[in-house]
Amino acid sequence: MKIYHVIGWGLLTAAACLLPSTVRADSPVLATVGGTPITAAEIEQALRLPLYDLEVEKYRLTQRKLDQTIVERLLARAAAERGQTVSAFVTAAVQAQIAAITPEEIAARVGTDRAKLPPDEEQARKEARSALVRERAGRALQELVERLSREAQVTVSLRAPEPPVMTVSVGNGPAWGLLAAPVTLVEFADFECPVCKDSLPILLAVRSLYPEQVRIVYRNFPLASHPQARPAAEAAHCAHEQGQFWAYHDALFAKAPDLQASDYVRLAERLKLNAADFAACLSSDRPKVAVAKDLADAQALGLSGTPTFFINGRYLSGYQTLDTLKQYIDRELQAVRNGAPPGDAAAGGGTR
């Protein structure tokens, strides 16, 4: 039997489908083991997140190529209308910006970039002017393309793939916000993850913008490549037992990624946690069990990296801008206003 044919067909089928959140009873059988069928839907379900990530990468590549092609067409069209080559048209469009660079601007740039420029004053001025030329030319070209886009009434119908919606367990872990909040944002993170640290200000902004509408739940996904991630997560659980998880969480990320084993007790002391209770917790199985449960749930969901967010079950992988999180939160809030039950606005999934 040619196993690779079966696997290849299954992957193609999975990529072509809409990736349902439940296994369909009428799904095609891809293989049987001891008379027990393995269906296409079963394989699709297991591959939902990696296939979505592939779709996102395909979208990004397509978007970059589409943007490049639009710019090329706009410039070629405008140059042809003027009887010029594209190169001559672009040069003429940016020349005025370059010519407008003054000696005073060059001197100011030398002062700003002094540490990066050569000690010779003349050479420093040349490099400073070159940097200004690149910036002005880039800005002029961008403004030109934006103007040509408006004149040509460019429309783009390419849309990003819709993130899958999954059922995500909230458990009894640390949470910020009202239990009855209509939107639950679950974050799987790692205390040694630089991108998780970069995401902290974004989540603080979400708290500020949606004090009653969003509940934020933190779950641990310590990666094997980060040796201090799991001990840090266990220490944070012990802070959680004393009602100080978020303060401890913030303190860990403030020091990350340079965490050391000696940091955990020191941070507890700084936050004035009960030292005896903290030590007893660390020596018990409780933090290990809690972190292991989070890790098992992350693996069951098919997660492969941090941070990963779920907004009412809708999957978002990696660093997310505040605008992106707002977009999905506002959509969930609108769905609730339209009559969907709180926490169930993302049909087919959610949090529990």
- Residue 27 sits at φ, ψ, to 5 deg, of -70, 140
Q: In terms of domains, do 228 and 92 share one?
A: no
101 & 190 share domain: no
Is there a domain that residue 162 lies in? no
In a domain, 157, yes or no: no
Domain end residue (candidates: 152, 183, 201): 152
Q: Give the number of domains in the chain.
A: 3
| 173 in Cβ contact with 241 (< 8 Å) | no
Residue 198 lies inside a defined structural domain of this protein = yes
The CATH number given to whatever domain includes residue 175 is 3.40.30.10
Is residue 187 packed enough to be buried (19+ CB in 10 Å), middle (13-18) or exposed (0-12)?
buried
Give me the mean pLDDT over the 181-194 stretch.
Answer: 97
Residues 230-253 pLDDT 10s? 999 999 999 999 999 999 999 999
For residue 351, the model assigns a pLDDT of 57
Residue 339: pLDDT band by 50, 70, 90 thresholds?
Answer: confident
User: In the structure encoding, which two tokens stand for residue 234, read together?
Assistant: 């266990």
pLDDT exceeds cutoff 50 at 346: no
- Which pLDDT score, from 0 to 100, does residue 2 have? 38
pLDDT of residue 22: 45
pLDDT of residue 100: 79
Q: What mean pLDDT comes out for the span 90-95?
A: 90
Predicted pLDDT of residue 342 = 52
Report the pLDDT value the prediction gives residue 15, as an integer from 0 to 100.
Answer: 36
Regarding whether 114 and 26 lie in a shared domain, the answer is: no
Q: Could you give the CA distance from residue 157 to residue 59 in angstroms, rounded to a whole number?
A: 12
Binned at pLDDT 50, 70 and 90, residue 320 comes out as very high
Expressed as residue numbers, the domain containing 333 is: 167-351
Q: Residue 225 — φ and ψ, nearest 5°? A: -75, -5
Radius of gyration of the chain (CA): 27
pLDDT band at residue 16 using 50, 70 and 90 as cut-offs: very low
- Pick from 170, 166, 210: which is nearest to 188 by CA? 170
Boundary-marking domain end, from 120, 152, 184: 152
Residues 139 and 181 in one domain: no
pLDDT of residue 26: 80
Instruction: Tell me the pLDDT tens digit for each residue of 323-332.
Output: 999 999 999 9
Residue 259 has φ and ψ, to the nearest 5°, of: -90, 145
Question: Are 278 and 347 within one domain?
Answer: yes
- Confidence tier at 98 by pLDDT (50, 70, 90): confident
Using the predicted structure, report yes or no on whether residue 79 has a pLDDT greater than 70: yes
- The reply to whether 250 falls in a domain is yes
Q: What pLDDT sits at residue 253?
A: 97
Q: Classify residue 161: in a domain, yes or no.
A: no
Instruction: Please tell me the predicted confidence (pLDDT) of residue 97.
Output: 78
Residues 237 and 317 in one domain: yes
Residue 159 lies in a domain: no
Residues 89 and 208 in one domain: no
Name the domain boundary from 152, 177, 198: 152
Do residues 253 and 117 share a domain?
no
pLDDT-derived band at 350, boundaries 50, 70, 90:
low
Cis peptide leading into 307, omega within 30 of 0?
yes
The answer to whether residues 205 and 225 belong to one domain is yes
pLDDT over 70, % of the chain: 89
**Do 79 and 132 have their domain in common?**
yes
CB 239 within 8 A of CB 247: yes
171 and 87 within one domain: no
158 within some domain:
no
Q: Are residues 99 and 225 in the same domain?
A: no
Among 44-48, 112-116, 142-146, 292-296, the range scoring the smallest mean pLDDT is 44-48
The whole-model pTM stands at: 0.73
| Residue 347 domain flag | yes
User: What does the mean pLDDT of the chain come to?
Assistant: 89
